Amino acid sequence: MKRERVAEDTYVFYSDAYAQAAAGIVLLPGGAIVIDTLPFPEETAEMVRFIGEQGLPGARFVINTHFHGDHTYGTCFFHGATVVSHRACRDALAKLGERRLAQAKAQTAALQEVVLRLPDVVFDEEMYLHVASRTLRLLHLPGHTSDSIGVMIEGDRILFSGDAVMPVPYIPWGNREELRSSLAAVLTMKPEIIIQGHGEILLRGEIGETIDSSIKYLDNIECQVEEVVKRGGTEAELRKIDIETCGRSRIPLDGLVSQLHQANLKALFRQHKRGHAF
């Protein structure tokens, strides 16, 4: 598992097993703050061990940026931590979590130790977490999912964006317009560093261009899908709309972005067919 230090007390951990999923640890006196967890128990166990190796008793808080299992399945391994999320994240886990976890366990033996853990503290639009010398701003950033949040570490201005920022925007579980607005909000936050939910760290000099590119991508796929629908085209024709013609590279996440791109196109196409406006 890859680990990077991004500030004196802040580290990022990356899954080797699933789509370069990212999670963070902020080391503070009395305990750590964990931002998301990793998809598989053995990966999250390394995070738990790392905290112990720093002489800390464990995690005081675990923040879930959204309800998807690749970011929440490790929560149960941080015993005694207070779990924080958006209200809609807790609602989604309460409604869908057990069924989705059972399906995941049936497909993946490595998940057998996972137990669903619901958040203890929830918020709606924004909250601040003050721990020791650190202040974390938690902000609703919907679009990837309705419950998505970002976590800004004030002072260093490090933004853990969850899946609101990814190598390609991903909307089948969410809403294109909401994600577009959330990306614009990220720009107004003026982060120095963005830890994407998946993929490489974004540094200050590349953040503006990357976010602008993501917004243009969302506009581009709207136009391309709308053209297919207007001429009476079929869903199968979406395969002809290449990710690179929409302004994004096919290289990140070992090529997985092309699959995510096609899923975006299908989601927009089906929304239109169901009568939803773009």
In this model, does residue 277 exceed pLDDT 50? Answer: no
- Work out the pLDDT band at 274, boundaries 50, 70, 90: confident
Q: How many CA atoms lie within 13 A of 71 on its CB side?
A: 30
* Average confidence score pLDDT of the chain: 96
Summarize the confidence of residues 156-162 as an average pLDDT.
98
Q: What is the pLDDT of residues 224-241, one digit of tens each?
A: 999 999 999 999 999 999
- Work out the pLDDT band at 273, boundaries 50, 70, 90: confident
Q: Give the per-residue pLDDT at 278.
A: 42
Q: Give the per-residue pLDDT at 276.
A: 47
Q: Give the per-residue pLDDT at 34.
A: 98
Q: What is the pLDDT of residues 19-36, one digit of tens each?
A: 999 999 999 999 999 999
CB atoms within 10 A of CB 54: 12
In this model, does residue 191 exceed pLDDT 90? Answer: yes
Amino acid occupying residue 191: P
The interaxial angle of helices 256-273 and 204-230, nearest 10 deg, is: 40
Continuous segment of H or E residues that includes residue 265: helix 256-273
Amino acid occupying residue 257: V
Q: Give the per-residue pLDDT at 133.
A: 87
Distance in angstroms (rounded) separating the CA atoms of residues 26 and 35: 8
> Is the pTM of the predicted complex or chain greater than 0.75?
yes
Give the burial class of 171: count Cβ atoms within 10 A of its Cβ; 0-12 exposed, 13-18 middle, 19 or more buried: buried
Q: Give the per-residue pLDDT at 135.
A: 98
Q: Give the per-residue pLDDT at 272.
A: 86
Amino acid occupying residue 10: T
Q: Which residues pair with 202 in a beta bridge?
A: 194
Q: What is the pLDDT of residues 75-119, one digit of tens each?
A: 999 999 999 999 999 999 999 999 999 999 999 999 999 999 999
Counting residues of the chain whose pLDDT is more than 90, the rounded percentage is: 96
Sketch out the chain's domains with CATH numbers: 2-207 (3.60.15.10)
